[in-house]
Amino acid sequence: MAMKIANVDEGLLLALLNTTPTVAGQVTDRLADPEEAYAWIAEHAGDEHLAEDLELLRSTRDTLQALVHAQAAPAALAPALRGVSYQPVIGDTGIGWRLAAPRAHTLAARAVVAWDALQHTAPGRLRACENTDECTLFYVDHSKSNSARWCSMSGCGNRMKARRHYERRKNTQITD
């Protein structure tokens, strides 16, 4: 039941986690300004979610980020789940389940449910980029070997590999 929702909402979860990117060396918050936050909501979830409680959404995002960094406990997500339930939906092929949440915190609830589903179906695969000097993004490691270390190989991965190569060359030249 939660897996169907998680597959759809994994993108929403990552988008929410990544609303604090590092731009030109500074961490920015795409949800800090209400106008920009509502534009983000419209872009990622549609206009029907513009009643979202921004304070709860930011708080949920911050808690989810802390959970990925092992700096919080799941109980801290309780505010996002107040009044949330699954309701049965009977269709031609059987019974399905629909997440029911108060209108003002539907996105926060969907992100929390997606996080929980990932914890059960792909434990340890939701991670922060290892390029901690320049990047504050998160990703889900879908690699078969579960060995991805960066949010993107073309961006952070190349920078980190180039940095290690430069350090090795510098150390080799010093010892010669």
Q: Measured over all CA atoms, what is the biggest interatomic distance in the chain, rounded to whole angstroms?
A: 75
* CB distance 2 to 116 below 8 Å: yes
54-93 per-position pLDDT tens digit: 999 999 999 999 999 999 999 999 999 999 999 999 999 9
pLDDT at 127 over 50: yes
Instruction: Tell me the pTM.
Output: 0.82
- For residue 146, give Cα distances in angstroms to 31, 41, 139: 31, 31, 12
- Tell me how far apart the alpha carbons of residues 139 and 128 are, in angstroms, rounded to a whole number: 6
Contact predicate 151/43, CB 8 Å: no
pLDDT in tens, 20-65: 998 888 999 999 999 999 999 999 999 888 899 999 999 999 999 9
**Would you state the structure tokens that stand for residue 60, as one six-digit string?**
């949920």
pLDDT tens-place string over residues 84-120? 999 999 999 999 989 999 999 999 999 999 999 999 9
